[in-house]
Amino acid sequence: GEDVEQSLFLSVREGDSSVINCTYTDSSSTYLYWYKQEPGAGLQLLTYIFSNMDMKQDQRLTVLLNKKDKHLSLRIADTQTGDSAIYFCAERMNTGNQFYFGTGTSLTVIP
Amino acid sequence: DGGITQSPKYLFRKEGQNVTLSCEQNLNHDAMYWYRQDPGQGLRLIYYSQIVNDFQKGDIAEGYSVSREKKESFPLTVTSAQKNPTAFYLCASSIQGPNSPLHFGNGTRLTVT
């Protein structure tokens, strides 16, 4: 499979911004996704970005894509305790229907 | 409400027994997937199916088998050949098309002792 890398842990204070980073390997990826997983549950789609875009904003979420460096980030503004979860980035391959996921970043929000 | 149902949520088995995990979707999605999740390793693809009666191996298919006899259903069997079966298993589905994200079930946690 493809290598999609994320740092494992991130802690922020409530009200601060969180930035979760992801690097991927396949430059032919079409769409890149961010998912949120709460304990014991499945993954919930948060947002996505098409590979020809640089930025996408959706309420408190901002996705930045640097295609040259194959780097994707998710910024959560005004982070709340309910944002504590594991966040996964995923890339959809240009051919076929395969998706590859990062290792996940566990976000802890400190009150 | 449309969605993906995985059952049961928790499953316990003795070593050497085969076990089947259920995944049903009523989203009318063509493609279905099974992922395995282990702490610190993210999600790894076991099998996927793009159409009824057809499926492909993912990165870690050894010790697993699937069937796709109906569009709505994609059961996963964990066989006794799987050396380390204890994990959290996630089923997902999507429609065909370039911007079709995966929709996930709530997972089954399998413990083999």
B33-66 tens-digit pLDDT: 999 999 877 899 999 999 999 999 999 999 999 9
Distance CA B35, CA B28 (A): 20
- What count of CB pairs under 8 Å joins A to B? 64
| Cβ partners under 8 Å of residue A82, min gap 6 | none
CB contact under 8 A, B43 and A45: no
**Would you state the pLDDT for residue A86?**
96
Average pLDDT over residues B78-95: 94
Query: How is residue B92 annotated by DSSP?
Result: E
Distance CA B81, CA B18 (A): 9
**Would you state the pLDDT for residue A96?**
65
**Would you state the pLDDT for residue A110?**
96
pLDDT in tens, chain A (111 residues): 567 899 899 999 999 999 999 998 876 767 899 999 998 899 999 999 988 889 999 999 999 999 889 999 999 999 999 999 999 999 887 766 788 899 999 999 999
Distance CA A53, CA A66 (A): 9
Interface test with A, best of B102, B109, B110 (most A CBs within 10 A): B102
Distance CA A10, CA A86 (A): 10
Q: What is the mean pLDDT of chain B?
A: 93
* pLDDT > 70 in chain B, percent: 99
**Would you state the pLDDT for residue B71?**
97
Average pLDDT over residues B93-111: 90
CB of A87 within 8 Å of any CB in chain B?
Answer: no
Distance CA A107, CA B6 (A): 26
